[in-house]
Structure 1
Amino acid sequence: MTFTKPVLISGGGVASLLLASSLRRSNIPFIVYERDASPIFRAQGYRLRLSPEGLDAIEKALPPAKWETFWATCGKTGGAGLVSIDPVTGETTGQGIDAANPSTAPQEVLSSRDGKVVGISRGDMRKLFMEGIDDSIRWGFHVRSYELTADGVRAVFADGSKSEEGCLLVGAEGIYSHVAKQLSGGKLKVYDLGSRGIHGQAPTAAFKGLGEGVFRLIDETTVPGSKIFLITNVRARDMDDPNIQFGWTMGGSPGVVKAPNDDYTLVGKPAADIAKSLTANWHPRFKPLFEQMDEREAAFWKITCSSPDGVPEWPNEPRVTVIGDAVHSMTPAGGIGANTAVRDSELLGRLLSEAGEFKNGTTEAYEKEMRIYASEAVKTSFRNSQFSLGTKIDMNVTVEPRDI
């Protein structure tokens, strides 16, 4: 490879670290700048279900030995697929699509490989992707903008200092990306859908009443006129391991989940208490998920989404591009966002490797292909969220880049 300057990557999330792993595999120099002070600075979020496309992208991007470790770490769930349950009565309402609304419920294909649902926690994924590249990660650097040089680019940090010169800057800071806003001239927008949720974890014993499978609980009676949903994945292989916790993800229609003082950065007991309160009248079959939860791991989250019209176009800048949530934020429905993000990482990493050096046209080719699959993914994600929670987009309620 003849890359004389490193690829600069803004953000240290899943997409960033997979891209970095891909670049290391191709001997392309890079530096990752992450605003957090360390990899354990914040809660890692919910468990991700990997689609066939997401798994393929990860396998292509990682070195073979690293992929084998990743695959061995993933949970593989059998069972009857997605099972819908009324959490108040405890009755099963359908399998696969919602039985009550077969014509309107979104189709969800769960199995990824070998007839199994494959999943992994964000924390584990981030840790695995980070292995072997930690020497090129710089912690505590918050990218606020960038400036082009005669034949390169520099990231500009919140304190006014600048990075070394790179051949390319990849914005991957998620929904609060300053790089995305500057690059697109404000065309890339993220909308706050108003819905909020809570992530929780509990020992495997708390899930024995469910059995193996992927379960979706939808409660339409506790809060009149609103919905509360919970999704969890119970893996038989790990069921009897006392050292493992299973996670669940809860969400509610706008106004259902409210953090104290509207502070959604809170973690721990405040989030755990709200989850317990909202599920107080749920069937005894599900009580252990909350009664036995690890309160320290509870965390709030917001449901956001890019425009369901798709990824907009902007004038290509050969030395700057964006991946992941920075360019296509999605609702958590179906885990589509993370699977699309890793496709970005594999595609961009592969194009850079095939080029053998920095070339004009590489980011243009990446953005052209990315817009096709990412636009479809955003539309599907928003449609699924409409079905699950009745979410709507208010074009006046956007999420703006900020210091967090």
Structure 2
Amino acid sequence: MSTTKPVLIAGAGLASLLLAHSLRLSGIPFKIFERDASFVFRAQGYRLRLSSEGLAAIESVLAPDTFQRFWDKCGKTSGSGLTQINAITGEVINSPPATQNTLISRGGQVVGIARGDARKIFAEGCSDHIEWSREVTGYQLTPTGGVLALFADGSTSAEGSLLIGGEGIRSRIAPQLSHNRLKVYDTGARGIHGQAPTTAFRGLGEGVFALIDNSRADGTLSLITNIRSGTEKDDPTLEFGWTLAGQPGVIRPPNDNNHNNNHTIVGTQAAAVAKSLTRDWHPRFRALFEQMNEAEAAFWKITCSTPTGVPEWENEARVTVIGDAAHSMTPAGGLGANTAVRDAALLGRLLREAWGGSGGGGGGGGGDWAGVTAEYEREMRVYASEAVDQSYSAATRQFGVRIDPETTPTV
């Protein structure tokens, strides 16, 4: 199949955009289909913690000057590592030494970036290749060796040489490709993302903090936040984020019994629930909720792929999946986004090598994707399965979740 026909990408999330950035630098034509109407259609979610592996993957894709801008945009937090505090009394529960802090990555620091800022950098040079309000519902292989993306409105894309499903936990490509082997389970645990001016965090100081509320009869409620160093922590025009998470039954979003409810941004409703849940917390933490930007508050489901790891399916040379479409993870350990960017870097490298090896070389010539998706899936399954296991194991301790493949609902 001549790669003058574009690589089709479903979804414009982090992994998809980083992959697109890689394809653009390699001279490989591509097209992105995103169901949202724009980048700012809905809230961008909590700040991403970047591991050493995640940073290395991003650096392997971006040009040196672009990565430097990305790095400059990242917040860096030093301090003693994760500090756990009793949310009711304000007393420190546990503050492990930095040498035991698994959150630390490059330069002995905790490194993070807002999802929206990362998307903006990854999308540079790619925006003209995005078709908005285009929800991909499946695909069709063509007799000429290509593939078509199918859309919710009944239309189809132009023929592509390859289709990448990067549209998240509700991917329609993933179950079709894997014959329903790829599953995303609803653990029952819920969370609320929130943001507040940096001045609201002065009661904590610099570092990564987990506020733990074990006083409730219905389960544990916890909040995690990363308060960064530098002058930005004293700039009232900036906002830091926090994530409130509860064991199953603690946080109850509206219409929660509807498993098709994705808990997208609900603004003041989510803010009101967060304030109600934390009304008995220590006064030292009240500003996080009293000063929150209510418009940015959002519910989210805590989901996870099959705990045993990424399953195998019969490879289809013209279709594969990346990111949450391949391996959804709980927020425990901050592994999801880091694994997703590793997918993008790996697949982008394999496509670049195949393109150059067939004489494409970025000049718009030929290319042969034979074996590329099989090699990608083989390598991805190893590190992604390890990450899913780590994430699920941590979530069983942190959120009290248990997945039974026979009874746990899927999303």
Out of 390, 395, 398, the residue aligned to residue 388 of structure 1 is: 398
Alignment of 1:93-112 (within 5 A): 93-96=93-96, 109-112=102-105
Partners of 1:14 and 1:266 in 2: CA distance: 19
2:66 maps to a residue whose letter is: K
Aligned 8 A contact 1:194 1:254 in 2: yes
Secondary structure at the counterpart of residue 261 of structure 1:
coil
Partners of 2:175 and 2:148 in 1: CA distance: 16
2:79 maps to a residue whose letter is: G
Partner of 1:254: 248
| Unmatched segments (≥5 aa) in structure 2 | 356-366
Show CA shifts across 1:69-126 (max 9, x none): 11110001111111111111111111249xxxxxxxxx75111111111001111111
Partner of 2:45: 45
Show CA shifts across 1:22-74 (max 9, x none): 11111111101001111111111111100000000001011222211111100
Partners of 1:260 and 1:328 in 2: CA distance: 27
Partners of 2:346 and 2:242 in 1: CA distance: 31
Partner of 2:205: 211
Aligned 8 A contact 1:108 1:334 in 2: no
1:316 maps to a residue whose letter is: N
2:354 counterpart of 1:355: yes
Aligned 8 A contact 2:77 2:207 in 1: yes
Alignment of 1:4-403 (within 5 A): 4-96=4-96, 109-149=102-142, 150-221=144-215, 223-237=216-230, 238-262=232-256, 264-356=263-355, 357-395=367-405, 396-400=407-411
Query: Would you say how many aligned residue pairs link Structure 1 and Structure 2?
Result: 389
Aligned 8 A contact 1:175 1:399 in 2: no
Aligned 8 A contact 1:191 1:394 in 2: no
Aligned 8 A contact 1:33 1:137 in 2: yes
Aligned 8 A contact 2:43 2:265 in 1: no
Q: CA deviation at 1:358?
A: 2.7
Q: CA deviation at 1:225?
A: 4.6
Q: What RMSD, in angstroms, separates the aligned Cα atoms of the two structures?
A: 1.3
* Farther off after superposition, 48-57 or 240-249: 240-249
2:249 maps to a residue whose letter is: G
Aligned 8 A contact 2:42 2:265 in 1: no
Partners of 2:302 and 2:66 in 1: CA distance: 32
2:396 maps to a residue whose letter is: Q
Secondary structure at the counterpart of residue 191 of structure 2:
strand
Partners of 2:348 and 2:383 in 1: CA distance: 17
Show CA shifts across 1:158-192 (max 9, x none): 11111111111000111100100000000000100
Partners of 1:398 and 1:128 in 2: CA distance: 36
Partner of 1:103: none
Q: TM-score, normalised by structure 1?
A: 0.94
1:164 maps to a residue whose letter is: A
Q: TM-score, normalised by structure 2?
A: 0.92
Partners of 1:334 and 1:108 in 2: CA distance: 11
Q: Percent identity?
A: 61
